[in-house]
Structure 1
Amino acid sequence: MRASTRRTRRSARVEYTLPREDASARWARRLTAGFLSGSRTPPEAALHMDEATLVVSELVTNATRHGHSRCRLRLSTAPRSLTIEVHDDSTGHPVLRATGPDGESGRGIALVSRLTRRLDVTDHPRGGKTVRAVLSTGTGTGTGTV
């Protein structure tokens, strides 16, 4: 038997533009799952598919509801991390809100913050912002802040 000489990729990156409509979150989940299970993505990234698709869904939903145009989803892997970036044209930042037990919305950013190692927002000089969430693909999970 011979050992494989194929090198495993340590990083990969992809970017999608999504329309400003409710279906964009569903498409973003599918695109994320396809990216993470693809042959160009490090195998350990696929182990975090559930967390990644949930984070993508929340961030794209916020962008399509509160942004003023389509949004951009960028996914990139590096050793031991997966970065999810969603850009929209809104200047408003996500807000971590306290919700009651009967609240039907407002928990998304809190959930994203718990699932990620890092969560931050970058304003752009020409308008809009990018929300960046970094998931650890190593052992353990981190807590992020907005």
Structure 2
Amino acid sequence: MEFLLPQAAASAGQARKLTSAFLGRERHRARRVDAEHIDDAKLIVSELVTNATQHGGSACRLCLQIFDASVVVEVYDNNSARPRPRPLSAERESGRGLAMVRLLAQRFDVSPVTGGGKRVRAVLSY
């Protein structure tokens, strides 16, 4: 499933709702994506979409897929710069998103896209 999201603060919330609806569909229930893993996928989506809309300089594209026992989240934006994870700090209110994604995801990678921009992918096993 693929969604185009505007460069707006509300896009992260919209992405969470779309993810919940996609993973909660009856046909996906047969693959038993439980509530805990849906919540983890929503957090990953929220963080990646937030980064794309804040730092990508454009709208972003969210792609969700289910393969075997994995949820694949891909977020595309027009900024070719790789995201730079910050060290975790209790004092900062922001900058922890990528660290959380890396803790939840079994795989995490960033790839350039032909024509400019990048794809950030996280794979969550359930």
The equivalent of 1:30 in structure 2 is 17
More helix by share: 2
Alignment TM-score, normalising by the size of structure 2: 0.94
2:28 is equivalent to residue 45 of structure 1: no
Residues in 2 aligned to 1:85 and 1:46: alpha-carbon distance in whole angstroms? 20
**Letter of the structure 2 residue corresponding to residue 32 of structure 1:** T
Residues in 1 aligned to 2:89 and 2:51: alpha-carbon distance in whole angstroms? 20
How many pairs align?
124
How large is the Cα RMSD of the aligned pairs?
1.1
The equivalent of 1:108 in structure 2 is 97
CA contact (8 A) 2:111 2:120 kept: yes
Higher RCO structure, 1 or 2 (CA under 8 Å, sep 6+): 2
Alignment TM-score, normalising by the size of structure 1: 0.81
Q: Which runs of 5+ in 2 are unaligned?
A: none
In the TM superposition, structure 1's runs of 4+ consecutive aligned residues that sit over 3 Å from their partners are none
Residues in 1 aligned to 2:25 and 2:34: alpha-carbon distance in whole angstroms? 9
Q: Larger radius of gyration, structure 1 or 2?
A: 1
Residues in 2 aligned to 1:26 and 1:94: alpha-carbon distance in whole angstroms? 21
Residues in 1 aligned to 2:76 and 2:100: alpha-carbon distance in whole angstroms? 19
Identity between Structure 1 and Structure 2 (%): 48
Residues in 1 aligned to 2:124 and 2:90: alpha-carbon distance in whole angstroms? 27
Residues in 2 aligned to 1:18 and 1:65: alpha-carbon distance in whole angstroms? 12
